[in-house]
A and B are shown apart, each in its own frame.
Chain A
Amino acid sequence: EIVLTQSPATLSLSPGERATLSCRASQSVGSYLGWYQQKPGQAPRLLIYDASNRATGIPARFSGSGSGTDFTLTISSLEPEDFAVYYCQQRSNWPLTFGGGTKVEIK
């Protein structure tokens, strides 16, 4: 099973700041890495797939990069609605696995 490790666990930032979230895989997943956003009481929403492709309707301030084992989700300038928990997921191998999440909270 591919283990995804996200860091940091919590990121405390102010609106307008840049957020950089990391996801590291225990073995190469190529570019088969995605990112989801989950707000309290809501279902997750796909943000990024195949490492760097934005899903439909996702604002350009969200970007993904990386390949192999190291991946980054960047939010260029945090909006109030971006404070949430973010999960990475790999689809390179079964079972599909998720990282433990990074909470982006208001500083």
Chain B
Amino acid sequence: EVQLLESGGGFVQPGGSLRLSCAASGFIFHNHAMNWVRQAPGKGLEWVSTITGGGGSIYYADSVRGRFTISRDNSKNTLFLQMNSLRGEDTAVYYCAKSLTTTSNWLDPWGQGTLVIVSS
């Protein structure tokens, strides 16, 4: 069974930093792209970033490019999101999600999410 477990969320002041982690199990981690998607309170889904299986290709939403860095450690089956220069609008539940196949960016499954609150 595929399992994704996010951690690292919390309360941070504007301008601060957080590092999210997503521990994966139940599949061949390095064979799949991984993704971060966020959802602000009461709002819809917003894709944040994708990293391919080997880490050779990375994509970001314009809203986070230059502030967030996605990475992965395939030896530890773990995905990361380093978030710097955080803003109030970054407040959201952050989900990690596995790409359905090795070649497609359908997101399946998703972790349970970790809440990030940016406020003074």
| Contact surface of A with B, Cβ cutoff 8 Å | 34, 36, 38, 43-46, 49-50, 55, 87, 89, 91, 94-101
Which of B35, B44, B112 is within 8 Å of A43, CB to CB?
A: B112
| Contact surface of B with A, Cβ cutoff 8 Å | 35, 44-47, 50, 59-62, 95, 100, 104-113
User: Is A98 in contact with B47, judged by CB distance below 8 angstroms?
Assistant: yes
User: Is A43 in contact with B95, judged by CB distance below 8 angstroms?
Assistant: yes
User: Is A45 in contact with B62, judged by CB distance below 8 angstroms?
Assistant: no
In the complex where A87-B45, A95-B47, A96-B47 touch, is A46 in contact with B107 (Cβ < 8 A)?
yes
Which of A45, A50, A95, A100 is within 8 Å of B59, CB to CB?
A: A95
| Secondary structure dominating the interface of B | strand
For residue A46, which residues in chain B have a CB less than 8 angstroms away from its CB? 100, 106-109
User: Is B111 in contact with A95, judged by CB distance below 8 angstroms?
Assistant: no
For residue A50, which residues in chain B have a CB less than 8 angstroms away from its CB? 104, 106
